[in-house]
Chain A
Amino acid sequence: MSLHTPHIDWFALATILALLAASGVSLLGAVLVPAQRRRTFSAIVSKLGFVGGLVASIWLYVDSSGHSESVVSGGFLRDRWTALAQIILCGVGLATTLLSWEHLGRNDDHIAEFFALLLASAAGMAFFVGAGNLMTLFLSLEWFSIALYVMCAIDYEQEGSLEAGLKYLVVGSFGSAALLFGSALVYGATGTVSFHGIAAAIGAHGLTGDSLLAVGIALIVAGLGFKMSAAPFHMWTPDVYEGAPTPVTAWMSAATKVAALVLAFRLMRTAFPQDEHLWSVAFAVIAVASLVIGNLAALVQTNVKRLLAYSSISHAGFMLIGLSAGSALGGRALMYYLIPYSAMAFGSFAVVAARERELGEPVTLENLAGFGWERPFLGVAMWLFMFGFAGLPVGGGFVGKFYVFAAAYDHGWAWLVVVGVLATLVSLYYYLGVVRAMYMRAPALALAGGSPPRDRFLHIAVGMALVVSVGSMFAVSPLIDLARNAASSLPF
């Protein structure tokens, strides 16, 4: 009996393989490398893994043709859309490695496992963004989710970490279940799981508006909504972001969002182009809900990690505006927006991590007082991130907002532009609140505890984020070209 294996283009999976290999090596290090060298060893392995992934995905981007090629029997799609998302993911992963290097300082026990999980979740996301059918979509979703659940809880001696992991597990499983159920319904309606097959089946059988299909799409949208932490599927976000170790939060806020949004756009464009009238409205509604809830809730936060969590919900809303437009312009806007967004999200959490280390307690707006003057580089970085989030022209966030607004208006949704404008206005209050806390308040009494700054790598990571965030405003043209080429591999 011979087993027929499909032809596999291994090069298309190079990014994922590099990350997985590094993950395995790091895991071996947990056993084979002596404890005092384990941190350095696994961090270097992780760094090499992400650099390898970055090189592979850049190569893939350059080497791919203008349209999607399916590899592994249609389970994975190799194109520039996948490659660009992988580039962003590997970049964030590299920065997260630098941030985590000196983190979890009191507890060296799990450091190798931590990096192994980081690499594994990155590999899962790198597969997820290129998923070509509903099966691989679900599998890779679970793949990176399970890694993230453990990462949230890894610092179990820290208050809230275990709770965060559990909460994420329960709510995340609910989201996955919704997605799985939706996939089953779509399969039931169309008889296929492949994205291209679904679109063909809908076209061939005139299934547009079919109720089974519509419910299936709705459940898939909800399941993805959990992952991109868009309202009303955001309930877990503030608690998990607050409780998880800050490097994990930084990784999740940037990378999970990239993966979920990129995949959502591909899935909707590739599998359900005929039902655009359904999902574009659904995403527009979710975008509005995220903008309203994220921004209003952020106004009253005093814990900076919670504040940034709500800010990430509101930014999911902005990016969903691009997604809901569903056009090539919308895809471009989304891809572009993700670049400065992930830099700013990662960078702001990294700055919070720095403050956390010197205080030894959760960072609030109160104990942020004077930070800007004490740590000039991190202070300036933080205000650039905050102003960038608010859409002021100090970073790519400004251009990103302009692009999503243009996409929404181009789609004929001027009202969505108005909502976005109002949301930006509200968001100013709390972003400026952070700047105010850092620079304009007299520092409170000297706080005891914490360790003296030991964060060379953290500075490098924040510097990287700063360069990307500010640089993306000046280098708009090349980045937009990258995003355009990526979006043009999707069917429009």
Chain B
Amino acid sequence: MSTTFLTSILIWLPIAGAIVVWLLPLSRYATGSIAVLASLIEVGFWIEQASRFNFHSSSLQMSEQANWFGTTGPAHHTRPELGISYHVGVYGFSVWLVGLTAVAMAACIGYGFWVGRDRPRAYFALMLLLTGATVGVFESQDLILFYAFFEAMLIPLYILIGVWGGAKRMEATVKFVIYTMAGSLIMLAAIVVYGLHAGTFDLVHGPTSASRWLFLGFMLAFAIKAPLFPFHGWLPDSYREAPPEVTAVLSGVIAKAGLYGMLRIAIPLFTDPTGSQVLPAQFYRTAILALAAAALVYGSFLAFRAPDFRGVVAYSSLAQSGLITLGLFSGTTLGLNGAVLQMVAHGLVSVSLFLLAGVVERRTTTGDFALLGGMARGRPVLATLLMALGVISLAVPGSANFAGEFLILAGAFKLHWWWAVIGAGAIVLAAMYMLRLISAVLHEARGSTVADEAMDVRPGELALLAPLVAGLLLLSAWPAAVSHHSFVGRWPNQPNPNVIRTPLP
């Protein structure tokens, strides 16, 4: 049986689900059930995809290509038409990120069902739409298609935060949208220029480019989405004001789309595969590594100072984005392997932590450390979950995060020992802020908002969190599942070695 349909179905199944959920005037319960079911089927299709994927091949697999616009008809213009196609497919690393999306979205949709969000049809439709768009980002192999999905993620997020968010959601959404769109539109301009000069918008067959401006245009969009210091201005507001499961998606999955953009576009299109010349990805390497290191250290310090549960996890995500960027731009296979592993591991950790923050907030109405404390007493499941996640997150040896960070640092060390020293220092900071979080929530004197009646984690919530934690433990036991099954040979394996030169320098 042909397996290519799996790629497309992973994109369109949730979108079709969204339309069904939106159109059918069903009860809250039925609507939520359909959405959860759709997200579970999505996970099932991903498992099917991963099991049929050949991890020993470095080429694009399960790809589908269909003309979208601009290739048919006689080209009476001097140049061939803009070839833009619906081209999707997966590489090893894409499989893992698609899996992360499917699993994380299933947990978050389940969480939305569990807490009973208002206006369920709109809510679940948007969550499913977001799932499809994000998978689309991870699978598209055409720049315009990539851009379309990249932007399409923004629409459901905007409405999810704006409608179901906290009191200051309006400011948060405006900031979020303006920041991300600023980056994206500059990327669109870069895509247009690149595509017109390359004669194709296809990522697989596209040539590499020597233009620094184009590289910076792409990088800006990804750095805002990731986010990377100093483009993280939208992060604190959005992460605090969004509903917890949407914050979980933002940090666990959407941020990874920015990092994936670097991995799939900014690095391969701007690195010379033959190594004979210095192209922008190499030219700006030191600058980007410096920003990544700054994000790592600065984010860690901010996380240490943040006064609330979500603040700590939000800023730790900023730090982790920096760390992953360090791995991506180290230019070494070790670093790249570590970066992919860390994307998956941190995605799972931050989704779980934000959902747990939601769990705590539902019981105490706040995430403020001054009002929390002493929650471990009488709530063993909550304590166990938070401890386990905290320990994994601070990269205790043996955890998935440890493996990821170790690989990244080893990769960076090959470049220069200095980067590894900064990274290792930041890991110490991670221990500090995670332990502070754990003690502020679980231990210390009982907070004023923590009532005796506040329940432990309910079975329904455990059913959402347990698979995520189990996945993390599995990854901890066998990190090579991801890190040895992402790349075959050197990345980027661009089959087209040409370098195009645009009038832009």
Chain A interface (Cβ < 8 Å from any Cβ of B)? 327-329, 373, 380, 383, 387, 391-394, 398-399, 401-402, 405-406, 409-410, 414, 417-418, 421, 424-425, 428-429, 432, 435-436, 439-440, 476-477, 480-481, 484, 488
**With A and B bound together, what is the CA distance between A454 and B185 in angstroms?**
41
**Do the beta carbons of B72 and A373 come within 8 Å of each other?**
no
Complex: how many Å from CA A410 to CA B78? 11
Q: What are 23 pairs between A and B in contact, CB < 8 Å?
A: A329-B77, A380-B22, A392-B151, A392-B154, A393-B147, A393-B152, A405-B188, A414-B504, A417-B193, A418-B189, A421-B186, A425-B181, A425-B182, A428-B177, A432-B174, A435-B158, A436-B162, A436-B173, A440-B162, A440-B163, A440-B170, A476-B68, A477-B72
Quick one: given A398-B148, A406-B196, are A436 and B73 in contact (CB under 8 Å)? Answer: no
| 8 Å CB contact of A428 from B68, B71, B181 | B181
Asked if A394 meets B76 with Cβ closer than 8 Å, knowing A373-B119, A421-B188, A424-B185, the reply is no
Asked if A477 and B67 sit within 8 Å, CB to CB, the answer is yes
Known: A406-B82, A406-B196, A480-B70. A421 touches B178 (CB 8 A): no
B73, closest chain A residue (CB) = A481
Indicate whether A477 sits within 8 Å of B77 (C-beta atoms), given known contacts A393-B148, A394-B152, A440-B162. no
User: Which chain B residues lie closer than 8 Å to A429 at the CB level?
Assistant: 174, 178
Q: Which of B54-104 contact A (CB under 8 A)?
A: 67-73, 76-77, 82
Q: Which residues of B contact A410 (CB under 8 A)?
A: 196
Please name all residues of chain B whose beta carbon is closer than 8 Å to the beta carbon of A405 when the two chains form the complex. Answer: 188-189, 192
> Among A394, A414, A421, A432, which residue has its beta carbon within 8 angstroms of that of B185?
A421
For the complex, is B159 an interface residue (Cβ under 8 Å from A)?
yes
Q: Find A480's partner among B69, B155, B163, B182 (CB 8 Å cutoff).
A: B69
Give bound CA distance, A429 to B158, whole Å. 12
Among A401, A402, A435, A484, point to the contact of B159 (Cβ < 8 A).
Answer: A435
B169 at the binding interface (Cβ < 8 Å): yes
CA distance A428 to B196 in the complex (A): 26
Beyond A328-B76, A328-B77, A488-B76, is A436–B188 a contact (Cβ under 8 Å)?
no
B249 at interface by CB-CB < 8 Å: no
Task: Give A43 to B155 CA distance when docked, in angstroms.
Answer: 38
Q: How far is the CA of A327 from the CA of B76 in the complex (A)?
A: 12
Q: Is A402's CB under 8 angstroms from B188's CB? A: yes
Residue of B at shortest CB range from A424?
B185
User: Interface on B for A, CB 8 Å cutoff?
Assistant: 22, 67-73, 76-77, 82, 119, 144, 147-149, 151-152, 154-155, 158-159, 162-163, 169-170, 173-174, 177-178, 181-182, 185-186, 188-189, 192-193, 195-196, 504
Contact, CB under 8 Å: B181 / A439: no
Q: B73 near A484 (CB under 8 angstroms)?
A: yes
Whether the pair B69, A477 counts as a contact (CB closer than 8 A) is yes
A440 to B186 CA separation, bound complex (whole angstroms)? 28
CA distance A417 to B73 in the complex (A): 27
**Which residues of B are found within 8 Å of A391, using beta-carbon distances?**
185
Q: Are A481 and B72 in contact (CB under 8 A)?
A: yes
Q: Closest approach, in angstroms, between the C-beta of A414 and any C-beta of chain B? A: 7
Best-surrounded residue of B70, B195, B196 (most CB of chain A within 10 A): B70
- By a CB distance below 8 angstroms, the chain A residues around B77 are 327-329
Lowest 10 A-B CB distances belong to which pairs? A476-B69, A393-B148, A440-B162, A421-B185, A477-B69, A405-B192, A393-B151, A392-B151, A421-B189, A481-B73
Q: How far is the CA of A297 from the CA of B170 in the complex (A)?
A: 22
Contact indicator A414/B193 (Cβ below 8 Å)? yes
Closest to A475 in B: B69
Q: Shortest CB–CB separation between residue B88 and chain A, in angstroms?
A: 15
CA distance A435 to B163 in the complex (A): 10
Q: How far is the CA of A425 from the CA of B174 in the complex (A)?
A: 12
- Point out the residues of chain A lying under 8 angstroms from B193, CB to CB: 409, 414, 417
CB distance from B38 to the nearest CB of A (A): 19
User: In the assembly, what is the distance between CA of A439 and CA of B159, in Å?
Assistant: 8
Please measure, in the bound complex, the distance between the C-alpha atom of A48 and the C-alpha atom of B158, giving whole angstroms: 42
Contact B177 A432 (CB under 8 A): yes
Instruction: For B70, give the chain A residue with the smallest CB separation.
Output: A480
Q: How far is the CB of A429 from chain B (nearest CB, A)?
A: 7
* Closest-CB distance, A1 to chain B (whole angstroms): 49
**In angstroms, how far is the closest chain A Cβ from the Cβ of B280?**
18
Question: Which chain A residues border B68 with CB–CB below 8 Å?
Answer: 476-477
Please give, as numbers and ranges, the residues of chain B lying within 8 Å of A477 by CB-CB distance: 67-72
Residues from chain B with Cβ under 8 Å of A476 in the complex: 68-70
